[in-house]
Chains A and B, each alone.
Chain A
C-alpha cells in the first residue's frame, strides 16, 4: 500500500519539475495558435481596395447577426462595401463568414487578444479589419 502511495506522489512531484509544466506565463510568454484557429477577422486587401465585393453572404449566414454590410458603387462602377462592421461582442467565432465568402475576402487571424475597456472598441469597422 505504501508503494502505491509513493508511486502516486511521484507523479505529483514529477509534474512540479519545469519539464512537465503546462502553464504559460501570459503575457510574458505567448502561444502560437494553430493555423486553423478562429480569432479576430481580417478583411483582405487587393491592390488599392478591399477584396470584398459586398455580396452580403456573410451577414446572411452569420448566426449571431453581428456583421453589418452596406454596399455602394465606387468611381469605377464596382460594388464595394461602404460600411463593413463586425460587432465582436456578438460574434461567436464560428467562421461561417469565412466559409461563405465567394471571393475569400474575409479571413480569421490568430489574434485572440480581444479584451477591451469600452463597448465601442468592440465594433470593428472596415478600416480596423483591413489592418
Chain B
C-alpha cells in the first residue's frame, strides 16, 4: 500500500493504482475522456493532467502515472485549468458542433467538459472534419467527424471482446479510427464500442434520433437471454423499451454486453406479442376472456390428471418465484411430471454432477476466472452461448496470459486467442478427450487423489483411453492432451467451463461426469479461486435446477411427455416444436395430446397446435429474481407494463392454483422468495446491485467421487453438428430485430475445404438430407470447421433443422444442390 496526498486529502491505495484511481477513491474528481475502469491505462486525451509536487515543471497525466509513496498531487489550479481548456480547444478545432442532432448530447463527455471549462470560443481555427459516415450496418453507426481519438473503442474491441475490429489509421491531423481497409463494420456487433465512446462518434443505430438521454427512465434488470446474468438497464420512454443503457456499476458484467443483450430488446415492443388468451373453438384459436381460458385450463388439467396424467414443461426464462409457484401448481395437481427446457440435457448434467461432486451448480464465480492461470473450455461454442463470460476468458488470456485449452469440434473464436490451444476433436468425442486427460493425470501420478473415491475403478476403466488411442480415434494430438492435462493440474487457479442447453442434449451426463472427474483429479472443484463452471443456456437455467423443476423419481421427463405419454401437456415459455430434436415425431405426438396448453409471449408453432393459449410476459415486464450460471441471485425489475391483457407467468400460476383448489396465496415477490427452500438463507431485501451468490464464492462439495464414463466412437463421412449461434439464444431472439439484422435465417456452415469439394458457394441454397428428412438451407462458408463437419444453428423454426437433427451429437447427412 502507498500513501499519498491529493488536494490535501491523505489516502492509502494499492501499489498498482494510478493517480486517477487514487483520486477517485479519495473523492476528488479529475476530468477524463480516454479513461475507462475496465480498460488498461492509455493516456490519449491529456485532459486528466495534474500537478505533482515531486515532479514540478511539467504536468503529469493522472490516468497513466502510478502512485508513489508521499506523492503530493494537486488536481486543479489556474495553470491546470488553462492547459485542460487548451486541450479541449484543440479537440474542438475539427470536431463538428452538431450537438443539436447528435444523440450523445446530454451525456457527452466532451460536451460536459466544454461546459465545465467554459469553451465558448476557440482561439484556434481549422477546417471541420467532413468524413463519410458508416451508416451501412443496422446496429452500429459511426460518425468519425465527432471522434476525439481516445481509442476506447479500439481498446475495448481488442482487450475485452478480443475481436480487434478497429484501429487508428493515417497520421497526424488525418488520424482516424477505422476498420481494416476502412470498410464498413463486419463484426460481432456486440456494441461494446458504442458503450465506451465518450462522444457521439459511435452510436446505437436502432436508437437513432429516438429520444434524449435525460428523457429516459432507467430500470436496472437482468438480461433474459443466456444464463450469464448480465445487468441490463432499460432506457424506457413512454412505456416502451427504447434502448439498453450502459451500466458498469451493477452486476457482474462490468457493463459488457453481447449483441443479444444490447440490441435484442425489440421483441418486447413487438406487435406480434400475444395480448389476450386464445381458446380453440371449432378447430380455430379464437380470443377469449381470462376467465374462460383459465376455467378451460383448470378443467382440462383436472380431467387429464384423473386419466393418464398431466405433464408440465417450462422454459428456463421464468423467475425463481414463478418456478416456485409452478411447483406449487404441480403439487396441487398431484403430478411429478415436470421438466424444464433443454430436454434431457439438464437432467443429464444434474445427474452427472450429483453423482460425482454432490452439487448441481458452478463451483466458482466469474471474477475468479479472470485470475485463472489455466482455463479449459469444453466446446468452442462457449463463446457463442455465453459471450460475456467469453469476454472474461479473453481478459484472462490477454491480460494475465492464462493458458487456454479448448476441446471442440470446430475452431471457434477462442482458438484465435494468443497461445490458445485447440484440441480439435471429431464431433461427439469430447468425452474421449476428457477421459484421456484424466488418464494422463492418473498415469503420471500427478492427479489430486486425496479424499477422492473411486480412483482405482476409474483407473481401470480408463485403460483404453491412452492419449495415443484417443488420438487415433478423435484426431487430437496425444502430446497436446498430455500438455493440457499437466497444465490444468499445475495451475494454482484454474477453471473448467462447460456450456449446456437444448442443442447439447446428447451425452450430457457423460460430459458432466467426465468434466467433474477432471475437476476432481486436478483439484479444481472445491478449491479457492478455481472452479468448474456449468453455464445454462437460458436466463434462469440455474434457478430451474435449484428449484427442482425436474421430473420426480419415476415421473416422466420432457422427452416422455413430448412423446405423448400424458393426457394433458402444459408448456410454458418454450417452443419444443421449433427447436427440440425430431420435429416430425414431435408434431405427430403433440397433435395427439388430448389437451395442450401453451403459455408464451408469441404464438409459436407449438402454440398454434394448442387448445388453450395463455399470453404471458417477457423478462422486461417481470418482477422477481434470476439465478445466473455462477449461482448469483439478481433482481429482475419490470421496465414496462405487459401488453394488452397479458399477465406475468407467476400470476397465471397463482390463479390456476386457486382454481384447482390450492390453499396458499402469496402477498408478493418477497413472500414467495422467503418460501423458496434452497434460498432460505438469503434475505430478499439484501439482494443488492451486485446480487447475492448462494453457497459462497467457492461452493463446497458434498462428495468427491470419480466415475467412469464411456466416450463415443466418431461418425465417419459428412456430418452435421448443431448448436448456438453467437447472435441468437433459443427462439426468443429470432423475434428481435437487432440480432435478426445480423442473422435472420438459418444457414449451413461449411469449412473451406468442404465448400470447395462440394462446389457450394456462399448464399447458395442447398438441400440437406439426413435421418430420412430433407430441408432447403442457405450456405455459409467459414474457416471454423474441419473437413467433413457441417454446422447449422438451431434457433430458426422456419428452417426445420430439427427434422434432420434427432438429438445425437452428430448426424450423418448428404448435401445436394
Closest residue of A by beta carbon distance from B208: A73
- Chain A residues within 8 Å of B100, by CB: 53-55, 57, 102-103
Chain B residues in 8 Å Cβ range of A55: 99-101, 105
Q: Are B209 and A54 in contact (CB under 8 A)?
A: yes
Does any Cβ of B come within 8 Å of A60's Cβ? yes
B135: nearest residue on chain A (CB-CB)?
A77
- Cβ proximity bits A90-124 to B, threshold 8 Å, 1 near / 0 not: 00000000000011000000000000000000000
Majority-rule SS of B interface residues: loop
Against A, the Cβ 8 Å flags (1 = close, 0 = not) of B202-214 are 0000001111101
A55 to B209, alpha carbons, bound, how many Å? Answer: 9
Which of A54, A71, A78 has the most chain B CB within a 10 Å cutoff? A71
B215 at the interface (CB under 8 A from A): yes
Contact pick for A60, options B99, B133, B210, B212, CB 8 Å:
B212
B261 to chain A, nearest CB (A): 24
A128 near B: Cβ within 8 Å? Answer: no
Q: Which of A53, A54, A60, A72 contacts B214 (CB 8 A)?
A: A60
User: For A103, what are the chain B residues with a Cβ–Cβ distance below 8 Å?
Assistant: 100
Task: Name the interface size band of chain A.
Answer: 10 to 19
Chain B residues in 8 Å Cβ range of A102? 99-100
Within 185-225 of B, Cβ neighbours of A (below 8 Å) are at 208-212, 214-215
Q: Indicate if A79 sits at the interface (CB-CB under 8 A).
A: yes
A73 touches B209 (CB 8 A): yes
Looking at the complex, which one of B99, B133, B210 makes contact with A71 (CB distance below 8 Å)? Answer: B210
- B184: min CB distance to chain A, Å: 15
- Given A53-B101, A55-B99: A72 in contact with B212 (beta carbons within 8 A): no
Main secondary structure of the interface of A (DSSP, over half): loop
With the chains together, A53 CA to B103 CA distance in Å?
Answer: 12
- Interface set, chain B 131-182, CB cutoff 8 A to A: 133, 135
In-complex Cβ contact of B209 among A57, A60, A71 (8 A): A71
Contacting pair B105 A79 (CB below 8 A): no
Which residues of chain B come closer than 8 Å to A77, judged between CB atoms?
Answer: 133, 135
Q: Are B101 and A56 in contact (CB under 8 A)?
A: no
* CB-CB contacts below 8 Å: B605-648 with A: none
Residues of A within 8 A of B105 (CB): 55
Min CB distance A116 to B, Å, is 27
A60 to B209, CA, bound (A): 16
Instruction: Mark interface residues in A41-67 (1 if CB within 8 Å of B CB, else 0).
Output: 000000000000111110010000000
B101 touches A78 (CB 8 A): yes
**Pair A54/B208 contact, Cβ less than 8 Å:** no
Q: Are B209 and A79 in contact (CB under 8 A)?
A: yes
- Cα–Cα distance between A57 and B214 once the two chains are bound (Å): 11
Contact between A56 and B212, CB atoms less than 8 A apart: yes
Interfacial residues of chain B within 84-115, with CB under 8 A of chain A in the complex: 99-101, 105
The answer on a CB contact under 8 Å between A54 and B101 is yes
Contacts of B208 in A (CB 8 A): 73
- Asked if A56 and B99 make an inter-chain contact with CB atoms under 8 angstroms apart, the answer reads no
**How distant is the Cα of A102 from the Cα of B105 in the complex, in angstroms?**
13
* Distance between A37 CB and nearest chain B CB, rounded to angstroms: 27
* Residues of A with C-beta under 8 A to B215: 56
Bound form: Cα–Cα A79–B100 in Å = 9
- Within the complex, the shortest CB–CB distance from B121 to chain A, in Å, comes to 16
**Assembled-state Cα–Cα distance A71/B82 (Å):** 38
Contacts of B135 in A (CB 8 A): 77
Q: Within the assembled complex, what's the spacing in Å between the Cα atoms of A55 and B212? A: 8
CB neighbours of B211 from chain A (8 A)? 56, 71
Residues of A within 8 A of B101 (CB): 53-55, 78-79
- Residues of A within 8 Å of B133, CB to CB, are 77
Q: Which chain A residue has the least Cβ–Cβ distance from B103?
A: A79
CB of B305, distance to nearest CB on chain A (Å)? 52
Q: CA A60 – CA B105 in complex, angstroms?
A: 13
List B259-273 residues whose CB lies under 8 Å from chain A. none
A residues less than 8 Å from B209 (CB atoms): 54, 71-73, 79
| B724 vs chain A, min Cβ distance (A) | 33
B contact residues around A60 at 8 Å (CB): 212, 214
Q: How far is the CA of A57 from the CA of B101 in the complex (A)?
A: 11
- Nearest-Cβ distance from residue A97 to partner chain B, whole angstroms: 14
With the chains together, A103 CA to B100 CA distance in Å? 9
A43 and B340 CA atoms in complex are apart in Å by 58
CB A88 to nearest CB in B, in angstroms, measures 22
In angstroms, Cα B101 to Cα A71, docked, is: 10
Residues of chain A at the chain B interface (Cβ within 8 Å): 53-57, 60, 71-73, 77-79, 102-103
11 contacts between A and B (CB under 8 A): A53-B101, A55-B99, A55-B101, A56-B215, A57-B100, A60-B214, A71-B209, A77-B135, A78-B101, A79-B209, A103-B100
Q: Which 10 A-B pairs have the closest CB atoms?
A: A55-B100, A79-B101, A56-B212, A71-B209, A79-B209, A53-B100, A102-B100, A53-B101, A73-B209, A72-B209
Q: A79-B101, A103-B100 are in contact. List 6 more A-B contacts (CB 8 A).
A: A54-B209, A55-B100, A56-B211, A60-B212, A72-B209, A79-B209
